Every structure is written in structure tokens, then in C-alpha cells.
A = this chain, B = another copy of it.
């Protein structure tokens, strides 16, 4: 039987053409084709897998010592029967600021639209089982947020979701970074860093904090009339919360959207969440709220809190991929 293989599918995205940050519209989507794909005519389920902040689809191919890469992991899960043969599709949602949160924004581009574009292209170019019952979306951290958001917005496209440590409970996730923002802004050449983060050196802690804050502001509170293209949700000198801007952020918080999107989530075949019980961004606290609210709304789901933090959680894909596979029709 033919071995699995990784394919880089590059195409010029319509959704990203002319995006405000001038980021490339032509990007690679990395696709895992399972063992046997090449010598069969079978059609396969698909998991769309979204990388976290600063990552891209290709990041899943990075080698870490003593660890499988995504291809080796999936090969093993399929070989041991934990997971049925499936495609993994890994998009590139990177922006000049480090990431798009996989949503549409006037400041960065139409990244959720781009996800849908990829779905159409994958269904057209590969032998997939093209219904929502066989199409899952998953991710970690910002990728978990993007997955949950896509499932809320487009349950007709994605019938299953796995959200690993995904941003939610924004007051906690972003609270510490926003508290520090005035100090960060005062200690770095903001204009230079935002204009060309590639050239900016060193990629210090303040640089990373600035990029994280800018990426979130560009995603959640774009403003074409602002010089930066977005609004900071806190005053850069006093740190005072700008309620009007902050409400725009909260409008993206999965917890805040839950009531409105209950029907979407209820329609899913499977909703999976997990988080480390010592998540550095307190995302486990947001998950606990979401878990409780889902239960109160009578929305079936599975929530697991594992022993650990926000990093080194790749082993959790073993759990979610198996669960997604099992939840698809027989």
C-alpha cells in the first residue's frame, strides 16, 4: 500500500488578494494524504487543522526532538486503528503581525473566507467525503479559537470541531498582556516593529508582546481611519479600558457568542474541547465557563482538562483525532 505523503498546495487566494497588510495572497496549504490514498479511489474524511499564533500549516512539519511530526503521528494513529484514514489540511493564516485568528478583519484580510476557499479547493482537488459529517475543524490556541469560530459561523461546512486550549474568556486570556501594553509600547519602536517585523531585531520579549497585542487588535478591532489600521483596546498611556473597543473584542469571545450561536453548536455532530489545568493564559478558566454554559444549553460536548500548561500539548491530538474519527458516521 502506498505510504502517506505530505502535499504543499499553493494557490492564489481570492479572499486574500489585496489584503490590507500586503501579506501574500499565494500561500501553501499543507495536506496529509493517508496511506493508500494513492492506490485507491476511496474518498476520505478531512480534518482542517489550524496552527497557533506565529505558526502556519508548515509549522506542523517542524521536527521536535523525541517527537513525531504530524505525518508520523497520523500514520501511527491510522495504523493502530485509533483513527480511520483521513486527510489533514493545514492552512497558513499567518500575517505580518504573526497571525489572523482565522477571522475576517478590515485590518488584516478575510481569513475565515480563506478557510472556506480552501475547503472548496480541497473538495475539488482531492478525493474527500465532502459533507459536513465528515469534515472536522481543529486547532490549538489561536488555532483552537479559529476552529471554534468557524464551527459557530459555518456549521453547514464543519460538522465537528476540536478546540485545544483555544482563546476564550478574553478578559483572562488577554488581560495580562493588555495590562502590560503601556509599558511595552513605551519601550519599543512600535512604528518600526509593525512596519517590518521581519527586519526587526532582536525578536525580544517586548517585540513578541507587541506583535501579540497588534495581531489581536488587528483581528478584533480594525479601524481603517486609525493610523495603525486598528484600535488598541486600552489607553496606551494609562491602560484604561476603552469600553467601545473592548466590546468589539468581546464580540469575538466564544463565551460571549455562545447564546447567539447555540443553534450552530447544537447542530454539530461532535464538539470537543480540552485545556491544561495550569494554562498560563488561564484558558482553562474560560473552558470551564464554556463547558458549564454548553451543558446548561443542552449542547452535547466533551471537555477534558489535562495535567499541564499551554505548551507541549501535541500529544492531545491523539485524543481529539481519535474522538473526531469515532464521531463521524460509520
Contact = CB atoms under 8 A, between A and B. Distances in A.
A239 to B, nearest CB: 4
Contacts of A288: 237-238
A172 B238 CA distance: 10
A62 B315 CA distance: 19
A251 interface: no
A315 B201 contact: yes
Nearest to A62: B62
A292 B98 contact: no
| A interface, over-half SS | loop
A179 B282 contact: yes
A176 B277 CA distance: 17
Chain A interface size range: 35 or more
Given A63-B59, A172-B239, A285 B182 contact: yes
A287 to B, nearest CB: 9
B62 A63 contact: yes
A308 interface: yes
A203 B66 contact: yes
A22 interface: no
A94 to B, nearest CB: 7
Nearest to A65: B54
Contacts of A240: 285, 289
Interface in A188-225: 197-198, 200-203
A8 B55 CA distance: 24
Interface string A170-184: 011001100110110
Contacts of A39: none
Contacts of A66: 98, 197-198, 200, 203
A238 B289 contact: yes
Contact of A278 (B54, B58, B183, B197): B183
A263 to B, nearest CB: 24
A239 B282 contact: yes
Contacts of A285: 179, 182, 238-240
Interface string A156-169: 00000000000001
Contacts of A277: 186
A56 interface: yes
B239 A312 contact: no
Contacts of A56: 63
Interface string A254-294: 00000000000000000000000110001001001100100
Given A183-B282, A238-B292, 20 more contacts: A56-B63, A58-B63, A59-B63, A62-B63, A65-B94, A65-B98, A66-B197, A172-B179, A175-B175, A175-B176, A175-B179, A176-B176, A176-B179, A182-B282, A201-B315, A203-B312, A238-B285, A238-B289, A239-B282, A240-B285
List 4 A-B pairs, minimum CB-CB distance, nearest first.
A54-B65, A239-B285, A62-B62, A238-B288
6 contacts: A65-B94, A179-B285, A182-B285, A186-B277, A203-B312, A239-B282
